[in-house]
Amino acid sequence: MAAVQAADVERMGFQLALRRRGISDQAVLRAMDEVPREYFVSPEFTDSAYADQALPIACGQTISQPYVVGYMTEQLEVAPTHRVLEIGTGSGYQTLGFGNVTILAGDGFLGAPERAPFDRIIVTAAAEEIPQALVEQLGAGGKLVLPLGPRNGTQYIVKLTKAADGTLTREDLIAVRFVPLLPGQAREL
């Protein structure tokens, strides 16, 4: 019983930390509360699953820190009817409990043109430049959220909104540090 209580306290602290850092979308907070993050990290890191830090996963990648997952998801402004493309899913954690998910292995720079257009696109690895293929796959009124910047320099979460005429509005949001978005398909190391 003490273990259950300790886990409950840890989850409450996790939710409180997200709220204190500004995550306010109730659907995002609910999803992050309901999806067991410990299932998405390597067994040796389950004790740290709810710490606000990135953790290593397969292929030399990381699962992003919970605050960044919540922040990016909130900025995406996803509705139940949206078609969403996630690039760089890594562990799969950011799908946040959806059952209607199709997993594709491929080059994230290319997106999924055969399934476009998308209402929302989220990229969870840093690109040095905005991938044009993803912009082309974004539908009118769509939003693209991604970390952008050089591998060894300042990166920002950027939100692009595509108008009906195809023009993009860019918002630079918060400074972050992500693993790089690499061409090709990930391979187990």
Q: CA nearest 122: which of 107, 114, 136, 111? A: 111
> CA 62 to CA 45: how far, in whole Å?
12
Examine the residue annotation and report whether 42 is marked as an active-site residue of this protein: no
> CA 75 to CA 170: how far, in whole Å?
13
Residue with tokens 């209402």: 119
List residues bridging with 146 in a β-sheet: 158
Element (H, E) at 1: none
Active-site pick, 42, 48, 64, 91: 64
Catalytic residue list:
64
